[in-house]
Amino acid sequence: QVQLQQSGPGLVKPSQTLSLTCAISGDSVSSNSAAWYWIRQSPSRGLEWLGRTYYRSKWYNDYAVSVKSRITINPDTSKNQLSLQLNSMTPEDTAVYYCARVETLGRGVAAFDFWGQGTMVTVSS
Amino acid sequence: DIQMTQSPSSLSASVGDRVTITCRASQSVGIFLNWYQQKPGKAPKLLIYAASSLQNGVPSRFTASGSGTDFTLTIISLQPEDFATYYCQQTYSTPPVTFGQGTRLEIK
């Protein structure tokens, strides 16, 4: 059974950097079939994908246009985890942040089949 | 980006009722459509993938259908634990992954 365990602060000051980690058990961050995402959820934006990392003989990253200039997602193969860094935080970044696995299921369709528990991040001084 | 629109945004129903939620894509997504259930304070849970395939462990009272741009999720005989928010999500054209805005199912 795959489990994703998130850790990181719940309160970040404006202009500072958010750093979250997602520890993976039951799978490998270097899996050749999975992709690892960060998603956030807020009342104003709903469920919003932020970015992903995945390994297919080499590492790939994709980021949402809305955060592309200030986001970094890194895999850590030694600890089997992934991290999220989001710079220049503003109150509009207040949200619940999730890591999640995408895997290809039946009929060739991919879906988010495992999620972290979520981290409520508040941006406030 | 493909936009996903759900209707209704909320609905009230009683235990034992049959309810249907609709999801429409701004362009064809084939069968690359998934449904999730989210309860307060919890992460979304995958119910249906590939438009109509039931995820392991999900009760058979959840059924779904559709292809192209129009999809439905039906819950046959609502149970107390089914009151939650439901989201559709397309994986036809990614990135970006896009979700519907959600349908909140409340107890009448």
Mean local confidence (pLDDT), B12-28 = 97
Across the interface, whether the CB atoms of B46 and A112 are under 8 A apart is answered yes
Burial class of residue B18 (count of CB atoms within 10 Å of its CB; 0-12, 13-18, 19+): exposed
Average the pLDDT over A3-30 and give the result.
98
Chain A residue with Cα closest to B35: A111
Among A46, A106, A107, select the one facing B101 at the smallest CB separation: A46
Q: Determine, for residues A111 and B101 on separate chains, whether the beta-carbon distance falls below 8 Å.
A: no
According to the model, what pLDDT value does residue B102 have?
98
Residues of chain B found within 8 Å of residue A118, distances taken between Cβ atoms:
42-43
pLDDT band of B94, cuts 50, 70, 90: confident
Q: How far is CA B76 from CA A13, B64, B100, B107, in A?
A: 47, 11, 22, 15
Task: Answer yes or no: are the C-beta atoms of B20 and B64 closer than 8 Å.
Answer: no
pLDDT tens column, A65-87: 999 999 999 999 999 999 999 99
Q: How far apart are CA A55 and CA A68, in angstroms?
A: 20
Average pLDDT over chain A, rounded to an integer:
97
Q: How far A88 CA lies from chain B's nearest CA (Å)?
A: 22
By CA distance, what is B31's nearest residue in A? A109
Residues 66-125 of chain A with CB under 8 A from chain B are: 98, 100, 102, 105-113, 115-118
pLDDT digits (tens, 9 = 90+) for A44-69: 999 999 999 999 999 999 999 999 99
Give CA–CA dist B5/B23, Å, rounded.
6
User: pLDDT-derived band of residue B93, with 50, 70 and 90 as boundaries?
Assistant: confident
Number of continuous H segments (helices) and E segments (strands) in chain A = 0, 11
Q: What percent of chain A has pLDDT over 70?
A: 100
Task: Give me the total of CB pairs closer than 8 Å, taking one residue from chain A and one from chain B.
Answer: 67
**Rg from Cα positions in chain A:** 14
Predicted confidence (pLDDT) per residue in B41-75, tens digit = 999 999 999 999 999 999 999 999 999 999 999 99
Q: What is the pLDDT of residue B54?
A: 97
